Amino acid sequence: MTESVNQRAVIKWDAQGRPHSTFFDDKYFCQENGLLESEYIFCGGNNLEQRWANLSEAQPGIFTIVETGFGTGLNFCCAWKLWQTHAPKNWRLHYLSLDQFPLKVEDLAKALNLWPELKLYADQLVENYESFNLSNQQIQSVSLEGGQIKLSLIFDHVLKALERFKIQYSKQIDAWFLDGFAPAKNPQMWTNEVFALMAALSYSGTTLSTFTVAGLVRRGLNAQGFSTEKIKGFGQKRQMLIGMLKEDKVKETL
């Protein structure tokens, strides 16, 4: 495994103010519309609107998402906004994410300023993001919306981060946002070891979505018991990938 080297992301901004990673030579979101991309691929790909609307008000619980690659926090803000609109008030959302190269708070704020419609959520994220120690490689958490939203971040190599998640959240993950940089740019986020840890954290019915349909990703996920399907992609991407774990295991309760 690669050593845990925790570094700040170095950002290059294009003429439209969109962030690009200089280390991975890749963009954080698509050129057409990053917000619509996030809503379509991750919230839509995991069918979150319908799943959250169908949660039982009579039996409160926790819905847990893991994201591989926190980046600008755009996916988190999108999920948070959707949760506030569709989930029962007595349910809680736990959003776990990881990033070995976290953005500095000023870069995260600048990127999220591209989306005025997310200002309510982005402002709270930026305020709380300042409390995270970006050099700390343990799980750090903050509560939002009076405890209805919990954000847990870990700034470490993907395998070490998922191993720590596994200790606490085995068989508890409801949905995966696979949003590391493209496999050709950042192969360590798309390995068989990563897919095995995903399966260990998931239960029968756990879903996933990602922008990539690379063969190594599909084969790796299928080998761990995920059933995957290519569907229409967003913007100029012809296809994207969704999936579900089919193993006969049930979600563990807290």
Domain assignments of the chain as residue spans, ordered by start = 33-54+61-245
Q: What is the reported pLDDT for 85?
A: 95
pLDDT band at residue 3 under the 50/70/90 scheme: very low
* Strand 202-210 to 173-178 pairing: parallel
Q: What's the CATH fold of domain 33-54+61-245?
A: Rossmann fold (3.40.50)
Does the model's pTM come out above 0.85? yes
**Range with the lowest mean pLDDT among 5-19, 35-49, 66-80, 155-169?**
5-19
Burial grade of 167 (CB within 10 A; 0-12, 13-18, 19 or more): exposed
- Quote the distance between the C-alpha of residue 46 and its chain's center: 11
- Find the mean pLDDT for residues 190-205: 97
CA dihedral 53, 208, 69, 66 (to 10 degrees): 60
Each residue's pLDDT tens digit, 159-186: 999 999 999 999 999 999 999 989 999 9
> Kind and range of the H or E element at 53?
helix 48-53
Give me the sheet containing 11-13, strands edge to edge. 11-13, 19-21, 26-27
